[in-house]
Amino acid sequence: MYKIVKKETLNDVVELMVIEAPYVARKCEPGQFIILRVDEDGERVPLTIADYDREAGTVEIIYQILGYSTRLLSQKQEGDTIEDFVGPLGVPANLTKQDKKVIGVAGGVGAAPLYPQLRKLAELGTKVDVIIGGKSKDYVLFADRFREFCDNVYIATDDGSEGTKGFVTTVLQDLLDQGEEYGECIAIGPLIMMKNVVKVTKPADLHTMVSLNPIMIDGTGMCGGCRVTIGGETKFACVDGPDFDGFLVDFDECITRQGLFKEEEHICNLGLGGAK
């Protein structure tokens, strides 16, 4: 059993938890993820690691309250326990000191897994900027945390309640048009967002890494749900990633795969019953 040592509500659909998991905390690196089960009958839920404290033996996760299992998880409070917390899983992000500045682009909860990657780059001596997107200011996550080490924190909201009104790609394109020079881009968020980021960076020949964690299901490669085509080769987001060269990802295939069970998910959500 794994103890919940902290729980925080970030907005009406997103919550943060800090879990006591010493082994995972000792071994995990930015870019990796865990699999949890709320109880012994629960489904396996893969979640990327937002932060970790090796000395305290804790790991921080962010989750959206969307389906049955995340609603069950949301019912847990500080001091409660969850059944399983397995990891670290996946391939750590390849992060080395860069001569040129790196730009991070986060959409929604993608800010959580992007945070440890940019922080490590900053610790290595790389200058970093970040663009954070959300539908409104309440859905812009981790802005204050990024300000601790980013040279510039740009914000884009759909309704214009904070920062630029529009998409993260609008801000990114404006920065490139203004002559800002970056050596790499790291984009994490919804598939359509990452696809559109690549549409901006590819013409500029700005190397772009993306995370395909949104399509992971089982987290071990056995279910085949996160099978993707990378540069013409078949890969699995969970065991070969989740980070890949964005220029090589077949995003149209990923988006189609993600929508295969949309009708079933709708029926499932209608029948959540007591998990409210």
Cα→Cα distances 92→19, 85, 240, 243, 257, Å: 20, 18, 10, 8, 24
pLDDT at 267: 45
Q: What are the residue ranges of CATH 2.40.30.10 in the chain?
A: 2-89
Q: In the predicted model, what is the mean pLDDT of residues 2-8?
A: 95
pLDDT grade for 227, boundaries at 50, 70 and 90 = confident
| Interacting residues of 39 by C-beta distance below 8 A, sequence separation 6+ | 72, 82, 83
Q: In the predicted model, what is the mean pLDDT of residues 216-236?
A: 75
C-beta neighbour count of 41 within 10 angstroms: 8
Q: Which CATH architecture has domain 2-89?
A: Beta Barrel (2.40)
Q: In the predicted model, what is the mean pLDDT of residues 184-194?
A: 94
Specify the amino acid at residue 122: A
- The C-alpha angle 118, 235, 228, rounded to 5 degrees, equals 85
Out of 25-29, 109-113, 155-159, 263-267, pick the least confident. Answer: 263-267
pLDDT grade for 260, boundaries at 50, 70 and 90 = low
> What fold does the segment set 102-258 form as a domain?
Rossmann fold (3.40.50)
pLDDT at 215: 67
pLDDT in tens, 157-170: 988 898 899 999 99
pTM here is: 0.87
Q: What are the residue ranges of CATH 3.40.50.80 in the chain?
A: 102-258
Q: For residue 81, give the nearest of 21, 11, 33, 10 by alpha carbon.
A: 21
Does 46 sit behind a cis peptide bond, omega within 30 degrees of 0 on the bond before it?
no
- Helix intervals (H) in 186-258: 191-201, 237-240, 251-258
Q: For residue 171, give the nearest of 151, 201, 191 by alpha carbon.
A: 201
Measured CA to CA, the distance from residue 62 to residue 158 in angstroms comes to: 22
